[in-house]
Structures are given as C-alpha cells and as structure tokens.
A and B are shown apart, each in its own frame.
Chain A
Amino acid sequence: EAQVTQNPRYLITVTGKKLTVTCSQNMNHEYMSWYRQDPGLGLRQIYYSMNVEVTDKGDVPEGYKVSRKEKRNFPLILESPSPNQTSLYFCASSPYIGGAKNIQYFGAGTRLSVL
C-alpha cells in the first residue's frame, strides 16, 4: 500500500531535549516536505527536499533541521525544542519535481507537545 509513514504519532517532551520525527514514503517520490499546522494559521512549510541530499528552507525553518540521505526517508530534527514548537506536524511527498500534475500525499501527522 502506497503511504507516507510518520513516527511517532504523539510525543510529549521537555524544552531542550533533542528529538527526531521520522518520515518514510514507499512511492519512490523525489519530493518530500514537512509542514506544521497551527490553529488559525493553516499549514506552513518548514523544509522541503527536491531529491537526495537536496534540501531547502520553507516558510518557518527556524529551530528545525532535516536530512535526506535516502530517497525514502526525510527526518525532521529539533535540536533544542521549545514550547513554541508545540504543534501538529505533517510530512508529505510527491512524485514529479516541477511537474504540473503531481499531487502531494500526506502522512497521518505527529502531535508534538513541548513542556
């Protein structure tokens, strides 16, 4: 089954304790992206990757890191989480770089609370 898998689904942590949210897709997609969803703000892009070893900042990259060592995986890293990073995070992937007819597929989401 084609899917985007995020882990964990729920996470409660404390300020300053490094954490990683994993994202994996089994559709051989080149493009992957991380979003955060906050009430009243919709989805905002954090980082995206056009292909292996190619990553770039989205609209709200501060406090986050990503890596793309393999095509299927795109982990989101919070080196020193802060309470303002409490949010719902979505990973997404899509097949064609720059193609007009591609569609982004979303993971189930990771709800993160930073105390």
Chain B
Amino acid sequence: AQSVSQHNHHVILSEAASLELGCNYSYGGTVNLFWYVQYPGQHLQLLLKYFSGDPLVKGIKGFEAEFIKSKFSFNLRKPSVQWSDTAEYFCAVKSGANNLFFGTGTRLTVIP
C-alpha cells in the first residue's frame, strides 16, 4: 500500500528564515507528487506539482520542491518565509488511478 510521510509535525520559524519540509513516499512505480497548503480556516489549495521532467519544481508564492527519485522524496523549500506563510502543508502522492494519498500534514508557524 502507498504511504506518505511528513516527519515534521510542527515547524516554527522567524520571518526571513529558510524553510524545508520533508516528504517521503512509498511506491515503486510512476508517481505524481503534490504539495497543498491550507491557510487557517480555508480549504486546500495547490501549491505545486510534479508530473515529469525537471525534478525541481517551482510553485506559487516562492515555494519550490525537488523530486529525488532515489530517495522517494519530494521536499518543499522556500528561501525566506513570511508571516503570511503560516499554514498547514500537505504532501500528496497519486499513482495510477485518481486517488490522492496525503501525508499527515506539517503545521508551519512563522513568527514576525
């Protein structure tokens, strides 16, 4: 069975600090990878996605993620976080059929 692991449950950073959130998945075949963001009280929004090609993917709001196939990882990064990045971040994996498998989420708190 597929699984998605996000090892950081809660991350607290000061503004301007750099961010890296880990995501590892278990599936041996071709995968599509996603990061969704959920701002407080809101629904999930797509941050970025990887389907094929360049393993370094750039998303909205200065976020990027790197797909490393050999490590089964798709870590999310941002060089300098802002207070408005405070949210919960979910990594998700899709393979074959349409179903998305989500990680447990990482809550990011950015302190002004």
Stretch from A17-25, A65-73, A78-86, A98-106 forming part of the interface with B: A98-106
Contact of B98 among A31, A90, A107 (CB under 8 A): A31
Give chain A residues whose Cβ lies under 8 Å from the Cβ of B36.
Answer: 106
Interface residues on A, range: 20 to 34
Given known pairs A100-B32, A101-B51, A103-B49, the reply for A45 and B100 (CB within 8 Å) is: yes
Chain B positions 1 through 31: 1 when the CB is less than 8 Å from some CB of chain A, otherwise 0: 0001010010000000000000000000000
Q: Is the CB of A107 within 8 A of B43?
A: yes
Residues of B within 8 A of A (CB): 4, 6, 9, 32, 34, 36, 42-46, 49, 51-52, 90, 96-100, 102-105
Q: Which residue of chain B has the shortest Cβ distance to A42 in the bound complex?
A: B104
Main secondary structure of the interface of B (DSSP, over half): loop
Q: A35 CA to B105 CA in the complex, in Å?
A: 14
Contact of A109 among B6, B43, B100, B102 (CB under 8 A): B43
Q: Is the CB of B98 within 8 A of A98?
A: yes
Q: A44 CA to B51 CA in the complex, in Å?
A: 22
Q: Is the CB of A40 within 8 A of B9?
A: yes
Q: A43 CA to B36 CA in the complex, in Å?
A: 11
Q: Is the CB of B99 within 8 A of A45?
A: yes
